[in-house]
Chain A
């Protein structure tokens, strides 16, 4: 196979894959721009005859929708922040200290990442119920943190690994204690890794459905993903276009964040993969 044919096949595979993910999104865009009457025309009206932004206007002026959106931002941001705060000292220790059982411990941390929340959600529910923490944002944030910590530890550890220990030694000789060194040298230099971990956790939290769905029931506490699901379940086809608009508004922040910061994320993930 000539390189040219290989390139073409690569592009073809890329296009197929992109179509697989883009089609539902485009379908959502199409639906969200239609009038209620056009919704029934299905695929025949992929490009609406009279595109309207009314659906978005209706969604964005709805007070409840704003609350759901805010709830989602709050849960994700605090969950992501908590995960990064908890993961940072662990990552520092993993990067800088040698101790017995470090290898198995790091693999163990990664294995936690492989446990789906689905598997532990029932014991988790009973557990939080016993603690009286159901119906509380705090419990959801705590679970988001727990979900985010393993990946964050690894990501931030790799970030720390790329910082030469000589910089910390130079700072020690310059008169810094360990806390000073961490605050003034190591953390500022690990900022790309910290930011990437935060953003990845935000995105993971944003797409989280099961945890808030099980742990929260009061309407005013729900994040956007659960609220949309509840709305879809309780409404008829006449509100499909509104649902589509709501979904888009819910998806766009995560997409925007990822697109804007993908370089940063890729750099953090790739750090240490090649010799710097």
Chain B
């Protein structure tokens, strides 16, 4: 299914004034009854109409952060400011945010039209105005033919669009997405990802998008917030996060296939890995034990280098990923051209490009510059 979401006609398309509000989180903490805090003091400043993706493994506090912003959870301490105003004491109903839930959360006893109109009617919009706005949103999301259906009769993708319609129809100050694509099949997920981004370009609104999928994070965000154990590991543009991960955690989490790591000792002349292999020293003032990180594109096939044996090939069309087994680094992924003249079992040499190597402190996992 190829769905094109058009922006509602009522929304000003080329207006320079921001639609959304700024968001500021100050030392935000959320502690549940037992265990360590789910959110352990995070700080974040979002510009109006910015698209920020919170990404991290399960249990890292990203969804809790979103729920705190929505007003579905109460912060243990810290401040949440929307448009410069502290909203900690306001309920979800007063914050003028819209949220798209992972399981869509459509009201099963209401038609599609009633679902979309519900929020407007609750906020005192007249029946006629609500009807017009709903019709507009339905047109934008190609839902017009489904307006009298019940949510139970809709496919996953249709439910997803109704959930989006319910959110956009209100012109909220903040758009919150809680893993909205995780229940869709791979193809639809890809389409909806593009459409959400396109929607944001046409009707900019401050948007916070939670996902555990690093590809979604990289492709959709203006800025990515990588979270780990209730804390923010790094905030940056997708390319900043990819090119200069501040910690081994971020380096491991962002990028597919994953970065390869190996411990070694850095001296003035060389980086010596555990098994005695010596590599040229990267340009850094640091000396002593380090963890070397190499992304798949930092290694290439060469006539000299690390001896390696090809274990398997993953042809992706535009390129092919190759998993090599090496003595020095263990298993490493390398990006190859689409049709490499290789078969599993083949041997060769891998040459690391040390200008693209990442170095981390073996103890703290922090990036070494």
Contact = CB atoms under 8 A, between A and B. Distances in A.
A167 B98 contact: no
A189 interface: yes
Contacts of B105: 164, 166-167, 169-170
- A166, A171, A174, A180 interface centre (most CB from chain B within 10 Å): A174
A173 B102 CA distance: 15
A175 B121 CA distance: 9
A170 B103 contact: no
Contacts of B217: none
Interface residues of B, number: 22
A210 B294 CA distance: 83
Contact of B101 (A169, A177, A185, A188): A169
A169 B72 contact: yes
B109 A188 contact: yes
Chain B interface SS verdict (over half): loop
B101 A170 contact: yes
Interface string A226-266: 00000000000000000000000000000000000000000
Interface in A133-189: 164, 166-167, 169-177, 180, 185, 188-189
For chain A, which range describes its interface: under 10, 10 to 19, 20 to 34, or 35 or more residues?
10 to 19
A171 B114 CA distance: 12
B92 interface: yes
B119 interface: yes
- B92, B103, B166 interface centre (most CB from chain A within 10 Å): B92
Contacts of B118: 171, 174
Interface in B90-124: 91-93, 97-99, 101-103, 105-109, 118-119, 122-123
Given A164-B105, A170-B107, 17 more contacts: A166-B101, A167-B105, A167-B108, A169-B99, A169-B101, A170-B101, A170-B166, A171-B107, A172-B71, A172-B72, A172-B92, A174-B122, A174-B166, A175-B119, A176-B122, A177-B93, A189-B109
Interface of A: 164, 166-167, 169-177, 180, 185, 188-189
Interface of B: 70-72, 91-93, 97-99, 101-103, 105-109, 118-119, 122-123, 166
